[in-house]
Structure 1
Amino acid sequence: MRYGAAYLLAALSGSSPSAKDLEKILGSVGVDCDAALAKQVVDALSGKKVEDVVSEGLEKIGGLLSSGGGGVVAATSGGAAASAGGAAAAAPKAEEKAAEPEEESDDDMGFGLFD
């Protein structure tokens, strides 16, 4: 997704992006760029309008958006729904651990901020 996002960002400038453009954008935010993947994205998206690419993507995920994300679990088999229920039961345990107060650390070695 990062390569596609970098391509669309570069395409908004009005020119046809190259793999070097993607590398420059990704490098500016500290992300390593695989030249082969960048070239693959450039080859796949070159000549397409940004608006067309975005609308195609929205059509592909339209089912997820219209169902609110909940329809995916309902459409799966019973075993998957049961495992999802097990995951929901495990969630309160994680909340209990998060609610416990943390012990104070002795990192200050006896010196306070205002001593």
Structure 2
Amino acid sequence: MARVVGFEMNSQDPQRASSFYSSVFGWKVGAPNWGYHPVTTGSEEQPGINGGIALGPHDYAHGTRIQIEVDDIDEAIRKSKDAGAQIVRDKMEFDDFYLAYLVDPVGIGFGLIQNK
């Protein structure tokens, strides 16, 4: 079963968004890496997920996407496409993981992530 492991909030002003969520909810926001500010929303002993705040790209300037961890990102992309999803950004490689962005058949955006 694939599990939601994080979220990504996109903003045209990620620094301002980071300040807002930090001051209102006490989230810990880290230094940006690849333009992505990692966010810790609570202790590991509590239920919940962590995520990040990023500068939104032209194709997703504002909004929030969940990140779903999969064992095989290529298979998950294929199965998603077969079920009617559209690829927004095909598989990308980062140091420790692969990432892709899709939109489901009803327009909800999500990310797929596979750790290396």
Bin of the TM-score, shorter chain as denominator length: under 0.3
What's the TM-score once normalised by structure 2's chain length? 0.28
What's the TM-score once normalised by structure 1's chain length? 0.28
Highest RCO, 1 vs 2 (Cα 8 Å, sep ≥ 6): 2
